[in-house]
Amino acid sequence: MHLLLVEDDHLVAQGLIRSLRQEGYSVEHSGTVKHALECLSSGEIELVILDLGLPDGDGSLVLKHIKAQKKVIPVVILTARGSIDDKVQGLDMGADDYLAKPFDPAELFARLRVASRRVNQTQSSLLQCGEVVIDSSAHTVTLNGESLTLPRKEYMLLKALMENQGRVQSKQQLENKLYQWGEEVGSNAIEVHIHHLRKKFPSDFIKTLRGIGYVVGKR
């Protein structure tokens, strides 16, 4: 999931970036309104953490810009302004959540998970489909109650599928979710991962729709 962190305090930013990457986000960072708007224009960003006090203007400019777009991008405001009035104002401007500094990283991450599962249209971090359960907050997968360990890419692929049960996703869509928009895959990597996943799950778990894509569950 591609996240944009807008935060001008470099010390705070560096720490956050590292832990966000560990949480599985692909993070871009801006310290100014101007640069933030540039990042957003690429159209890749799916989620934004926004500080309000920026050197070249107020973060609310970024918020307004995002909410004027057609694409739905959740925005979590993370700022030192912690009064009730600030919160109400921030939320009413269109933010999806508001956290005042100092904040606990665990709470921020939980709230980000809420936002990202909304992007993925799933309802909770516990994804179940038949005998397979995936807990995206703990990064674990169980089949019939037995826990199993998946390599990173296989886990990401399975999660991408289970976050969209009943929704067919093309290989292209899945590639976009597994790979940073820096490097492209020049081959059938997705097919191979699917193949490996299938060996670990019931044979009819991942279905193929020839020419369209792959699905899991609900059909």
Q: Which residues contact 191 (CB under 8 A, 6 or more apart)?
A: 171
Contact 118, 75 (CB under 8 A): no
Residue 189 within binding range of DNA, rule CB under 7 A: yes
What values do phi and psi take at 80, rounded to 5?
Answer: -80, -20
Residues 116-135 that bind a second copy (CB under 8 A): 118, 121, 123-126
199 vs 201: CA distance, rounded Å: 6
Per CB under 7 A, 195 contacts DNA: yes
152 binds DNA (CB under 7 A): yes
Count how many residues are written for the chain.
219
Which one of DNA, a second copy, none interacts with residue 179, CB within 5 to 8 A by kind? DNA
Is 204 one of the binding residues for a second copy (CB under 8 A)? no
Give Cα separations from 195 to 92, 140, 187, 200, 204 (angstroms): 47, 20, 14, 9, 12
Per DSSP, what are the bridge partners of residue 58? 53
Q: What is the smallest separation between the CB atom of 115 and a second copy, expressed in angstroms?
A: 9
Q: Is 179 in the site for DNA (CB under 7 A)?
A: yes
- Is 119 within 8 Å of 72 (Cβ atoms)? yes
Site string for a second copy, 8-47 (x = CB under 8 A): ----------------------------------------
Q: Does 212 bind a second copy (CB under 8 A)?
A: yes
Query: And the tokens for 29?
Result: 């960072």
Residue 148 is a binding residue for DNA (CB under 7 A): no
Binding site for a second copy (CB under 8 A): 67, 72, 84-85, 87-88, 91-97, 104, 106-107, 109-111, 113-114, 118, 121, 123-126, 137-140, 147, 149, 151-152, 155, 164, 166-168, 209-213, 218-219
